[in-house]
Amino acid sequence: MPSTDTSARALPTLHEFFAPGGILARSPLPYEHRPGQYEMAKAVERALAERRHLIVEAGTGTGKTLAYLLPALRTGQRVIVSTGTKALQDQLYFRDVPFLESLLGELRVCYMKGRANYLCRRKLYALRDQPVLSGLDEIDEYQQIAQWERITETGDRAELSALPETSALWHKLDARSEACLGSTCPDYRRCFITEMRRRAQEADLIIVNHHLFFADAAVREMAGAAPDAGILPDAAAVIFDEAHELEEAASQYFGRSLSNARVEDLARDTDVLLRGKAGSSQLPALALQLRERARLFFAALPVAGDGRHPFVERQEFLESSGDLYLAVTTTLKLLESELERLTDADEAPGLSARAESLRSDLQFMLESNVSNMVFWLERRGGGSKSGSNLPPKAAPRSAAPRTRGAGTTTFLQATPIDVSELLRELVFDRIPTVVLTSATLTVQGGFQHLRSRLGLTDSRELVVPSHFRYERQALLYLPRQMPDPRSEEFQSAAAATIERVLRITRGRAFCLFTSYAQMRALYDRLMPVLDFPLLLHGTAPRKALLEEFRSTPNAVLFGTASFWQGVDVQGEALSCVIIDRLPFAVPSDPVVQARMKAIEESGGRPFFDYQVPEAVLTLKQGFGRLIRSLEDRGVLVLLDPRITTQRYGQIFLQSLPPYRMTQSITDVGAFFAASGTNPA
């Protein structure tokens, strides 16, 4: 991305803003000078001025968002800030930027999400004129969205707080590019995507998330040097917050994904958008034929139950089921041709392009021999959740849409084994300044693992210790004589230990697990014996569970995956975090398996070069849920004895903050008695 100048404005220097007695000290916020925050701000400003890359691990409590926002705004050039989660994106735009504006005056800042977050007016009107709604729920949701469309300025579904997260209707109405008519759309000037892009062109600072950033990079890569090919405007610099998620996000967007749900979407949209159009008489029959042939094809895939499975037998599948594969590709080609013949339907070119994309992806999945790709299958929704459910770093998410509604969704996936070369070419070689920051980037105090995985060879480094006093605020409890977590005895021992700890803490805890099966089993064991309100991941939307946890005295939340990071609960409501085992990725996961094999073939040690560092970063994220302010106090519990019995355990201990450590349950009780937070 070339440098892009915007109109500079006079903003205070970093010293004027961050120094004791400065602008920040005189703000309404409770103020305590943070030397690490000022040090980070100076490092970011220097990197931006010298057009150098920078890696900063900023411990929790540093105040890193202000430490990079002010230097970015002071450049006088457009800067993109990319976050790992929408939660941080919301925090930046709705909390941090307004706070800065209260001190500095109006700022030109834009907030961009992926197209699927925005309403497409043309789709909304098409459904109104030709309603194809499933049941009373969709009718009610449609009426709600139609009323909101008249008053919203952004079209962002986040404004629809009453719309269920699992709404099947929203997917029929969102503005994703597959059905976009671009400038030929009759609603182009009123389009929410058009307006979002206009605001971005006028902004000094654009706040996005990693998924949108890499969607833009993928579009640019496919379009080559085509002008205006990207989603985002050019910028002089990019700041990646929550940079520990970069490899996973890049893997998602530079891979390929195909599902029966995606085929069904194309067939449904062909029916809905072209109904009644002249010359489209063959299309309903082709759409029906595509549905039937795709159903047979996906049913024949060698998927043994829910979960992720390697697809190493692609050649054998073609030999046994090549007729099903040929039937689907032939139908897609016929659908493309029929759509291209339509002259009275603005929607036809977009639908034809989608059919061609599906056919191309299907051919790639079954015929490609690209050496840097791992091919795998996944089935969701066919039964109870089980197996590994590690945070994204350990189990990269699919690039395909989530399952919508009832039924089973089957995916064919292709994921890059190594994204370092892609990131080097598309990010670090193209953008003058890239800043990577997070509270969890180092392993044993160094950035070697991050550099290796992301392909970053030339950059400055900075480690900013946390502003929190971990040795006084937190106690790490490693119970003695716990069995190996892979043994049959572990579950009963874990239940007994968790019960004992929770009785001391009077609930007020997160119990975090590496699998749904383990979480559910321990929840079932503890539910009859504990008097505290127990909340279970999966029984309600994540946001609703967090709100209930915050508002319910002595609550205990049992969670996996998404509760390991991006969750902020301050105060006594969260006084304990219990983790069942060291969060190693499951070696049988197809992506993990392929990456470990690649490391071994290059002469490395897969366990120590990949699995241990990834698990260290995940553990740091999980433990990071506990201490979120200078007033927080609490106990961290790890039930896995391998951290003290295995040689690699020292790598974990040397990578964690300086917690006070004990193996005595008596010390846990004494800690809470001394803090005065134990009501027992």
Q: Are 482 and 490 in contact (CB under 8 A)?
A: yes
pLDDT at residue 636 tops 90: yes
Q: Are 507 and 533 in contact (CB under 8 A)?
A: yes
User: How many other C-beta atoms can be found within 10 angstroms of the C-beta atom of residue 606?
Assistant: 19
- Please name the residue that has the structure tokens 């008097």: 531
Architecture of domain 256-416: Orthogonal Bundle (1.10)
Q: Do domains 38-113+201-252+420-464 and 256-416 have the same CATH topology?
A: no
Between CA 542 and CA 550, with CA 546 as vertex, the angle to 5 degrees is 170
- Rounded to 5 degrees, what are φ and ψ at 100? -60, -40
Within the chain, what is the greatest distance between any pair of CA atoms?
80
Mean pLDDT of 593-604: 96
**pLDDT of 365:** 96
Number of H helices, E strands in the chain: 27, 18
The answer for residues whose C-beta is within 8 angstroms of residue 370's C-beta and 6 or more apart is 414
Identify the weakest region by mean pLDDT among 227-236, 352-361, 558-567: 227-236
Mean pLDDT of 41-45: 97
pTM: 0.88
Identify the weakest region by mean pLDDT among 172-186, 309-323, 498-512, 605-619: 172-186
pLDDT at residue 605 tops 70: yes
Q: Are 635 and 575 in contact (CB under 8 A)?
A: yes
- Given the DSSP bridges, would you call strands 237-241 and 433-438 parallel, antiparallel or unpaired? parallel
Q: How confident is the model at residue 225 (pLDDT cuts 50, 70, 90)?
A: very low
Q: Are 1 and 431 in contact (CB under 8 A)?
A: yes
Residues forming a β-bridge with 460: 54
- The CATH code for residues 38-113+201-252+420-464 is 3.40.50.300
Residues forming a β-bridge with 412: 258, 377
**pLDDT of 553:** 95
**C-alpha to C-alpha distance for 458 and 449, rounded to whole angstroms:** 14
pLDDT in tens, 287-324: 999 999 999 999 999 988 888 999 999 999 999 999 99
Q: Among residues 209, 217, 206, 207, which one has the least CA distance to residue 253?
A: 217
Residue 531 is encoded by which pair of tokens? Answer: 């008097």
pLDDT at residue 230 tops 80: no
Amino acid at 93: Y
pLDDT at residue 391 tops 60: no
Q: Are 388 and 589 in contact (CB under 8 A)?
A: yes
Between CA 2 and CA 1, with CA 456 as vertex, the angle to 5 degrees is 10
Show me where the domains of the chain are located: 38-113+201-252+420-464, 256-416, 470-675
Q: Are 507 and 552 in contact (CB under 8 A)?
A: no
Mean pLDDT of 71-90: 92
pLDDT in tens, 87-140: 889 889 999 999 999 999 999 999 998 888 999 998 888 877 666 666 777 888
8-state DSSP, 395: S
Given this structure, which CATH class describes domain 470-675?
A: alpha beta
Q: Are 395 and 206 in contact (CB under 8 A)?
A: no
**C-alpha to C-alpha distance for 288 and 268, rounded to whole angstroms:** 9
Amino acid at 475: L
**pLDDT of 4:** 53
